[in-house]
Structure 1
Amino acid sequence: MHEEPEHGTPRAVAVVWGLLVLNTLGSAGAKTIVPLPRSLIQLVTMGSLVAAFALALALNPRLRIRPSAYVSLLTLLLVTSVIASVNLESGFGALFRCFRLSLFVSTLWLLSRWWDGGLTFVRHHIRMYFAVLGSVAAGLAVSPGAAMPDLYGGRLVGALWPLTPPQIGQYAAVIIGLTALLLLGRRTDRRSAAVIIVPSLVLLALTHTRTATLGLLLGLALAIGSLFLTSAAARRFFGWAVLCAAVAAVGFASALQTWFLRGQSQENFSSLTGRAKVWDALLAAPRTTAQEWFGVGLGDKSFGGLPIDNSWLAVYNEQGLIGVGLVAAVLVVLGGVALLRPPSLQRACAIFLISYCAIASYTEAGLGDASPYLLHLAVAVSLLAAPAPAPEPAAPPAHATALTTPGAPRRRVPRWARRPEVS
């Protein structure tokens, strides 16, 4: 990918971002080729978060941070999570998850120093998740049976690291969208973009992930639409996209329908693969006033032993109505700031990430805890941040100004005041 100078951003920041990505990969998923104990995976992911915080602190020892409504709202969400978790309704694991979220938010505060409206964090994001997809592709090449097991209906999973199809689809969709926007804005060349987009599209198709696919298409439509009036390339891209979509809808309607339904019955599809039953049970469960407002504490995003798979209901269950209000404020504030910014590539990338997270929140959990979705939104914040003001040059001493200003009389320095020359 075409490189741009990263003014004022240490290269070690990319390492910190990679460690945050590793932490949010999770420890539950498909069976891997080489069995990995869950305790070992949790040790690696939690250790990566501690290392990320320590390295960010070493890079920013004076604790220079930039004001950020996004991280401020996450801090309030952390406070709400602690209040809900101290009752131990979700066990001691809730307090451990609060500690993890505190390290995660603290690391984002430390990194906010380098959020300057540039594309630095976009490139870090693409590189890190492309490396994750590389491990998925390697697992598919080594053991196709383990990478596409019958347990998941033949959908692609992580065979080297336990990754589920929705996770892989999410990572692929996000880097496809960001890379396409970089290509559209001429910040990368076609060859570099193809190296990322083509294999990522193949992996996305193998996951059969509908949420990621819809998020990619709708997010790109909104992002490109924000450039429609100011970019001829965006208008051409949009036109070709509409034409290709029309051709695909007519010529491949049956194949697309088969891929989209994934062999499910109409009843199973209408209930969102059983998600609606879990949602109804969660909403019907009795709650105290404290649980209604603050939730039951951070858990594993499940109810009755089944995954919730909805960010809003997961937040409602674990952080209550206050948590739901804070998460909604995050999306509203970021969306409002993006709309107020003048058209630019950075704004388009931010709109893509914000809209993708909003769309995926309906069938995926993660907006209320340390997750890839919070990293996506952090990248959007870095894109919407105002450029850091350049430091003003120090004023030269008065005598130096007098000696160097054109037309100023030169003062003669007495012999006794001159410094001896060193040979």
Structure 2
Amino acid sequence: MGGALTRGGPPGGPDTAGTQPSAEPRPAGTPRTVGIVWGLLILNTLGSAGANTIIPLPRSLIQMVTMGALVSAFTLALALNLRLCIRASAFVFLLTLLLVPSVISSAYLESGFGALFRCTRLALFIGTLWLLSRWWHGSLTFVRHHIRMYFAVLGSVAAGLVVSPGAAMPELYGGRLVGALWPLTPPQIGQYAAVITGLTVLLVLGRRTDRASAAVIIVPSLVLLALTHTRTATLGLFIGLALAIGSLIPTSAAARRFFTWAVLCAAVAAVGFASALQAWFLRGQSKENFSTLTGRAKVWDALLAAPRSTSEKLFGVGLGDKSFGGLPIDNSWLAVYNEQGLIGVTLVAAIIIVLGGVALLRPPSLQRACAIFLISYCAIASYTEAGLGDASPYLLHLALAASLLAAPAEVAPLSTPEVPRRRIPHGAQRSEVT
């Protein structure tokens, strides 16, 4: 997979000089170790809570692994960037500002000492992104790292399904696919599958990989997505891809053909498989349970109705486990409001608006399409999933979008060396004149 994704390019070989309109900007010597740092960040955001695994893993051990991955990522990024060369990034700057209400609210210890620990984790996460920003220049390098690492995670999920189907699809989760080797929930698996599927489809349309290599990623990912019965990830995939491909239609014949066939296939599926699609979408839930979004709306109403002081409204109650009254909040905006207050909500909204605005202002390109897909997916998922206010896969998706929207690094033009004039002796000059 990795080799094919790397070798794929426009007809006639890769345009390393960047002369073709669709050519990928040259990475300017991105070290391979940067991919390891990105993979460690992904490992850190996998989380420690989920289904029961085949071999029971103590939560303390999982937290040690994930936190150790973050410390290792920061240390390795610092070793790669000892001169602290960073690029201006509105995304990372706004994330840094988000630390302010997080620290202020967590200092009161209303959420316990765990809030300060989560602030430290968020600070290391943001610091690592600052160090990596040196290599953000609009190339697809980080997209390939993203696909490879999450495909490896999905590989562990598939392995768990083969080894123990009962543990991978337990009745506790309604027969939905979970991580049997590493504790992953169905929404997590669905998110990873949807994101790498969308990115791989865009790489195929941009001729950055061949169809056979893309099928190796897309087909298993879609199967795992279907087994998770995750409606948010499915909607995010289709809506995000529609927006991303729509941005390519003016300049890409392949995007126009794909969009036309996708609309036709969707129409046929809606007519011929309407009952099956409806049954999959409802997941056997009652109308009342479906209308309350599997009970989420009750938690949201209770959170909004809870009395709060002025400081809690502005700064929140501190970084926690994204729950209220012992129940998950499952909404990024309400989770940020609860933990980082109205200031946090404003900063997170600014992140989405800034990234979306920059993407709309960029000329049509594959990088822009990938960024639009990631931004739209995160915006859609934010309604039923938490994570935009803390170190999470969603922030990594947005960081990837920010790297794609970064302007290519400018190369200083070669200046023509000044040729020193030959000094003519005074006598010789006078003889020439005479």
- Alignment TM class, shorter chain as reference: over 0.9
The one-letter amino acid of 1:344's match is S
- Once the two structures are superposed, the pairs formed by residues 281-292 of structure 1 within 5 Å of their partners are 281-292=302-313
Q: Distance in 1 between matches of 2:218 and 2:27?
A: 24
Does the CA contact (< 8 Å) of 2:244 and 2:372 recur in 1?
yes
Match status 1:264 vs 2:285: yes
Match status 1:36 vs 2:51: no
The one-letter amino acid of 1:170's match is Q
- Once the two structures are superposed, the pairs formed by residues 79-98 of structure 1 within 5 Å of their partners are 79-98=100-119
- Once the two structures are superposed, the pairs formed by residues 7-406 of structure 1 within 5 Å of their partners are 7-393=28-414, 396=417, 401=419
Deviation at 1:227, TM superposition (A): 1.0
The one-letter amino acid of 2:249's match is F
After superposition, the C-alpha distances for 1:16-43 in whole angstroms (9 at most, x for unaligned) are 0000000000000000000000000000
Q: Distance in 2 between matches of 1:394 and 1:162?
A: 57
* Residue number in structure 2 paired with 1:421: none
Q: Distance in 2 between matches of 1:287 and 1:184?
A: 50
The one-letter amino acid of 2:45's match is T
Q: Distance in 2 between matches of 1:106 and 1:367?
A: 17
Deviation at 1:391, TM superposition (A): 3.6
Q: Distance in 2 between matches of 1:157 and 1:50?
A: 27
Does the CA contact (< 8 Å) of 2:5 and 2:144 recur in 1?
no
Q: Distance in 1 between matches of 2:409 and 2:364?
A: 19
Q: Distance in 2 between matches of 1:213 and 1:205?
A: 8
Q: Distance in 1 between matches of 2:201 and 2:361?
A: 23
Q: Distance in 2 between matches of 1:204 and 1:341?
A: 31
Aligned with 1:9: secondary structure? coil
Q: Distance in 1 between matches of 2:291 and 2:134?
A: 46
After superposition, the C-alpha distances for 1:244-292 in whole angstroms (9 at most, x for unaligned) are 0000001100110010000000000000000000000000000000000
Aligned with 1:2: secondary structure? helix
- TM normalised by structure 1 equals 0.93
Q: Distance in 2 between matches of 1:393 and 1:311?
A: 49
* Residue number in structure 2 paired with 1:415: none
- TM normalised by structure 2 equals 0.91
* Residue number in structure 2 paired with 1:3: 6
Q: Distance in 2 between matches of 1:335 and 1:380?
A: 10
Deviation at 1:8, TM superposition (A): 1.4
- Worse-matched range after superposition: 385-394 or 238-247: 385-394
Q: Distance in 1 between matches of 2:194 and 2:404?
A: 19
Aligned with 1:116: secondary structure? coil
Q: Distance in 1 between matches of 2:373 and 2:131?
A: 25
Q: Distance in 1 between matches of 2:256 and 2:302?
A: 46
After superposition, the C-alpha distances for 1:212-252 in whole angstroms (9 at most, x for unaligned) are 00000000000011111111111111000000000000110
Number of aligned pairs?
403
Q: Extract structure 1 runs of 4+ deviating beyond 2 A.
A: 4-7, 391-396
Q: Distance in 2 between matches of 1:348 and 1:96?
A: 36
The one-letter amino acid of 1:49's match is L
Aligned with 1:3: secondary structure? helix
The one-letter amino acid of 1:371's match is S
Q: Distance in 2 between matches of 1:185 and 1:392?
A: 30
Deviation at 1:393, TM superposition (A): 4.1
Deviation at 1:394, TM superposition (A): 6.9
Structure 2: gaps of 5 or more residues: 8-25, 425-434
* Residue number in structure 2 paired with 1:416: none
* CA RMSD, Structure 1 to Structure 2 (Å): 1.4
Deviation at 1:7, TM superposition (A): 3.1
After superposition, the C-alpha distances for 1:142-161 in whole angstroms (9 at most, x for unaligned) are 00000000000000000000
The one-letter amino acid of 2:332's match is S
Structure 1: gaps of 5 or more residues: 403-407, 412-423
Q: Distance in 1 between matches of 2:338 and 2:103?
A: 14
The one-letter amino acid of 1:262's match is R
Q: Distance in 1 between matches of 2:124 and 2:246?
A: 37
After superposition, the C-alpha distances for 1:346-377 in whole angstroms (9 at most, x for unaligned) are 00000000000000000000000000000000
Q: Distance in 2 between matches of 1:75 and 1:7?
A: 27
* Residue number in structure 1 paired with 2:428: none
